[in-house]
Chains A and B, each alone.
Chain A
């Protein structure tokens, strides 16, 4: 059988067309197979999320406030932390385990402190009483004549251990300090309130550190009536 070139060409086109069609079909099958895989995966995700929600809800139910409270009453007996368990700042931490010197004055308490200043300020670095600049900045100036480096909270904290050591070593060197502090306490006058170490003394609010005895001494503690 003799096939003419023309016929051969048209057969070729048909074959090519059929081939393309087959490839398109195969590709779209593949795409749809993937799509249904995604669909199945999504269904699984939904199922798992719902399962998670059930478990979460069950956990929250079993650990709800009332349940936790009854467990605490029976088993744990936890109580709210007291003031003594909190440390406000590095200074309190530094003085935590250090016993007060026998002749040390009671800590000075400023009558009202602006929280926003404390909150925004980093740990105050040691400040020179003469220049009002931080000690580190002074050192830097003295050493290099470079502009004072800003003392940020991170570096202040990092240097805490170092400073703790300094406090311990220099206690004797600062022998004159308590007397100076006592003087300061007096000058603050009515604006100072005695902390006196113990909470009870603090609560009774004597103003003795300010050199100001209570005008009324006959307090009837504990008797409360209508």
Chain B
């Protein structure tokens, strides 16, 4: 029994053992299979990934590079490709109060006052109180736009995670306030204002075109020289403002256009003020004696003046209760060259009277004086065009006379520049433009004066600079010709004798005019620098005299003392040169 039970027990133990072994083997096999499957899966996945990467990924997008280099807003350059406005990714300083998460204490490591003090040390022009206010508030805000990389490094060294430096595409003007009135500015929302930024907005934002910069007709060097000298003239004469323009007489391209005081378009947050005002294209002035050459040209053109030596009486003219005076007494009579050299209102009025209102009016209209100036800028002033007395709009006799010497009609300096271009370029008026003009596609313009009239006017303008009021503009070798104009500004109860608009309208070189230069000062004062005088001969003419030598060689006009327009047939007619 015992043995039987023992053997049975052994037998059953064996069976059990065999079972255990079998099941253990099965488990092991299962596990090995699972591991094998896992490895197969892993290998397959890895292989798939390799094939995926190898075959499909890593192929560069053909357009990626071109896209990355296209600016968000197209670049504006001057005529020689110097960047005037460009999209520029720059750092800005952003305060993020949620830098440490939604909840919790102060987002700053130090106190807001300490941080603000440190920031003021980095940015000396920052407002401490404003910074403290912003750092204490729980709203995210810009602490500063446009931070230089070195400044960003300094701020980073403060160790404040709440101060962030997002890199943003901004509009940047490398030349600062240069040509600010031409360019305008882009506000914080990215919208262009005032100048070409506004005009060109669709073109600058067009994805198809924005890769190519827009070339303006401006020459940055000439613009710099003009702004520089106008600024100097404005300071010297203590004037309220100044305006200047350089115009290509043959194409109508604006080479430089300056209106001072100006603004810095880089600080678009601060430019919504009175300085964003273009005196050249938007403000109208009575430009005074600078109109006299236009009147004389109209008279020569119409055959009213055939003999320049004919003398006109210079006694005060009394027309309908209004008396026309001259600033000085120039003797009992003057001929036409003398009238221009001395700037006689009386003689010019008589010439206009002989010419007649309709003829003068027609010339003025052909010169575009009765409409807004033709230029691309959005701000263009409407001239104060004298009202006519009859249905045709013809002027009264006294109106004709005052318009002849630039009173009773108010136009922008740009009108005057275009008119002078027509006076000297052979008689063809062309619209002014701020776009670079292809020499083969110059607009035909319209003929206002005969070529012979233009040649005569070139002589007369040169005489004014050689012998007359424009002597201070006579840059040696540049053959400058031009006319001064010092018009009293209208005020309450008539003209104000001490508030003048001093203008010098010039062109050079007179033997083959290339550029018109206009310099205008608004309410210049008599100072030591201007010898106590406030007329154009003393403040505006010297500006042109300094600008021309600076811009001439840059614009391809070489000074040459051995050339000039021939005025020998006229100079015997002029006694001496004094006048307005």
Contacts and interface: CB of A to CB of B under 8 A. Distances in A.
- To the question of whether A and B form a pair in one complex, the answer is yes
A97 interface: no
Contacts of A61: 174, 176
Contacts of B89: 50
A212 interface: yes
Interface stretch (A8-16, A151-159, A200-208): A200-208
A190 to B, nearest CB: 5
B515 to A, nearest CB: 15
A207 B571 contact: yes
Contacts of B54: 25, 28-29, 32
Given A65-B175, A83-B561, A214 B571 contact: yes
A45 B529 CA distance: 55
A150 interface: no
Interface stretch (B55-63, B386-394, B414-422): B55-63
Given A190-B569, A210-B568, A226-B535, A57 B172 contact: yes
A54 B89 CA distance: 9
A216 B463 CA distance: 15
A214 B550 CA distance: 33
Contacts of A57: 83, 86, 88, 172, 174
A100 to B, nearest CB: 14
Interface in B76-113: 82-83, 86, 88-89
A102 to B, nearest CB: 21
A65 B561 contact: no
Interface residues of A, number: 61
Contacts of B564: 109, 193, 202, 205
Contacts of B327: 225-226
Nearest to A46: B68
A112 B455 CA distance: 11
Interface stretch (A33-41, A123-131, A133-141, A177-185): A33-41
A169 interface: no
Contacts of B175: 60, 64-66
Contacts of B176: 61, 64, 66
A32 B88 CA distance: 34
Nearest to B75: A53
Nearest to B531: A224
A218 interface: yes
B474 A203 contact: yes
B553 A113 contact: no
A173 interface: no
Contacts of B57: 32
B181 to A, nearest CB: 15
Nearest to A79: B549
B177 interface: yes
Contact of A111 (B476, B566, B575): B566
B466 interface: yes
A214 B571 CA distance: 8
Interface stretch (B217-225, B267-275, B314-322): B217-225
A172 interface: no
Contacts, number: 174
A49 interface: yes
A86 interface: yes
Contact of B58 (A39, A65, A69, A216): A39
B174 A64 contact: yes
Contact of B574 (A50, A190, A216): A216
A145 interface: no
B281 interface: no
A77 to B, nearest CB: 14
B472 interface: yes
Chain A interface helix/strand/loop/mixed: helix
B576 A45 contact: no
Contact of B471 (A25, A46, A224): A224
A83 B477 contact: yes
B477 A88 contact: no
A98 interface: no
A81 interface: yes
Contacts of A226: 327-328, 343, 486, 533, 535, 537, 579-580
Question: Which of B57, B58, B533 counts the most chain A CB atoms within 10 A?
Answer: B58
A84 B578 CA distance: 30
Contacts of B472: 224
Nearest to B50: A29
Contacts of B568: 111, 190-191, 193, 205, 207, 210, 212
A35 B86 contact: no
A199 interface: yes
Given A66-B178, A207-B568, A219-B576, A88 B559 contact: no
A80 B224 CA distance: 14
B562 interface: yes
Interface in A100-116: 107, 109, 111-113, 115
A115 to B, nearest CB: 5
A128 B253 CA distance: 45
Interface string A70-96: 000000000111111010100000000
Interface in B409-442: none
A56 B54 CA distance: 39
A208 to B, nearest CB: 11
Contacts of B561: 83-84, 195, 199, 202
Contacts of A46: 65, 68-69
A130 B214 CA distance: 57
A61 B228 CA distance: 17
B60 A82 contact: no
A42 B60 contact: yes
B469 interface: yes
A80 B58 contact: no
B477 A36 contact: no
Interface in B436-475: 466-467, 469, 471-472, 474
27 contacts: A33-B58, A39-B58, A39-B60, A42-B60, A46-B68, A57-B172, A60-B83, A65-B175, A66-B228, A81-B553, A83-B476, A83-B478, A88-B558, A109-B564, A190-B568, A190-B569, A191-B566, A199-B561, A205-B571, A207-B571, A215-B572, A216-B576, A218-B576, A220-B578, A225-B533, A226-B535, A226-B537
Interface of B: 51, 53-55, 57-60, 64-65, 68-69, 82-83, 86, 88-89, 172, 174-178, 220-221, 223-224, 227-228, 327-328, 343, 466-467, 469, 471-472, 474, 476-478, 486, 511-512, 533, 535, 537-538, 549-550, 552-553, 558-569, 571-572, 574-580
Given A36-B59, A220-B577, A226-B537, 10 more contacts: A32-B53, A35-B58, A46-B65, A65-B178, A66-B224, A80-B549, A109-B563, A214-B572, A219-B576, A226-B327
Those 3 A-B pairs whose CB atoms lie nearest each other, nearest first = A83-B477, A65-B224, A111-B566
